[in-house]
Amino acid sequence: MTEKIAFLDLKRQYDEIREDVAAALLDVCSKTAFSGGPFVENFERMFALYSGCRHAIGVNSGTSALHLAMLAIGAGPGDEVIVPADTFIATAWGPSYAGATPVFVDCTPDTWNIDPAKVEAAITARTKAIIGVHLYGQPFDIDAVSGIARKHGLFLVEDAAQAHGARYKGTVVGSFGALAAFSCYPGKNLGGYGEGGIVTTNDDGYAAHVKSLRNHGSTERYRHDEIGFNMRMDGFQGAVLAVKLPRLDRWNARRKEIAAMYHRGIKNPAVTMQGQPEWADSIYHLFVITATDRQALMKHLEARDIFPGLHYPVPCHLQKAYANLGYKAGDCPNAEYLAAHCLSLPMYAELTDGEVARVIDAINDWR
Ligand SMILES: Cc1ncc(COP(=O)(O)O)c(C=O)c1O
């Protein structure tokens, strides 16, 4: 019997930082700073510095971050927001929660990121914004998409949920759009010990609005300027994320080493990997491949105690939740191909070289 290799094992990282985490959590308890407060504010300052943005605003999930970003730009009923078909569904929830309509466009066949040509073709008189997703941790073609946004007077919002520390042409993502949304869900590269998210922006007005919206539409206690939400980050998340952020670059560097091993080692012609343009410095939140016969490859790997993930088996435009929008199979062929053939290899900083070699050998053995 060989040791199991899971797609993700959070316990190994916890073992490395458990003493610092325990001390940070006790500190929150002793100061009873459970909702918002100094631990969140400290993390916000750290993340703003890290991402090169004037503002980082802690919220209770990446989904909320997208929702608030949409409200900040004024997206609402009657507006269309262009989003990639190949992403986690929460990218589309942002516009939907704001009352706008997501318009799904295809990815490119090689980078699997949003296709700028498809974005331009989807623009109508109602288009308000484009959400680009740094999918699997790899930046999308920001210059191309922001050029289109500028040309048509649209907002660009980054969905950086999977991309803490990824770089586009040398600059960390999060400051390219009007706003950006990060997720701190536990499995993310910068994950909390519960739900969490961050909005970043360089605009003081957006920052003030997002801070108010996350706190019941209030800047002064018991005075409410508009209908707001309870979307504050909790103190435990602020404290844990502040413990983890100084280690993020080291963990991301190890993910890059593992990705390089996969890239060098996987030779099976029945498998393809995400195309990497020279301007995209991915932090490999996920290492997704496609296989000509996914089911067969999964069975083959599982028989060798290797357990891959699936991101994502149904593209957004074909989800039942959006059946009313009238999309059909064939509308986004590249995203549909990916959904039908994708498989996520084990990827986390604590994987050993031996484990990575086992995954590579198993894939190369597959016929
Ligand atoms: C691309 C993308 N967008 C948005 C989200 C939503 O983040 P959260 O799960 O923190 O709400 C996620 C995370 O799952 C994601 O992967």
Structural domain boundaries in the chain: 10-243, 248-365
Q: Mutation test of ligand 1: which of 63, 136, 285, 342 has the most ligand atoms closer than 8 Å to its C-beta? A: 63
CATH architecture classification, 248-365: Alpha-Beta Complex (3.90)
148 contacts 172 by C-beta, under 8 angstroms? no
Q: Is 259 close to ligand 1, i.e. is its CB under 6 Å away?
A: no
Q: What is the pTM of this model?
A: 0.98
Pair 200, 53: CB distance under 8 Å? yes
Q: Which atom of ligand 1 is nearest to the CA of 162?
A: 16
Q: Cα of 2 to ligand 1 centre, how many Å?
A: 33
- Nearest ligand 1 atom to the CA of 185 is 10
Q: Which residues of 292-330 are buried (b: 16+ CB within 10 A; e: fewer)?
A: eebeebbebbeebebebbebbeebbbbbeebeeeebeee
pLDDT for 2 equals: 86
CATH number for domain 10-243, candidates 3.90.79.10, 3.40.640.10, 3.30.750.24, 3.40.50.1000: 3.40.640.10
Q: Which atom of ligand 1 is nearest to the CA of 184?
A: 10
* Ligand 1 mutation pick, 183, 237, 241, max ligand atoms within 8 A of CB: 183
Please work out whether the CB of residue 93 comes within 6 Å of at least one atom of ligand 1.
no
Cβ-contact 199, 65 below 8 angstroms: yes
pLDDT given for residue 1 in this prediction: 65
Residue 136 near ligand 1, beta carbon < 6 Å: no
Positions of the chain with pLDDT under 70: 1
Name the nearest CA neighbour of 69 among 225, 216, 209.
209
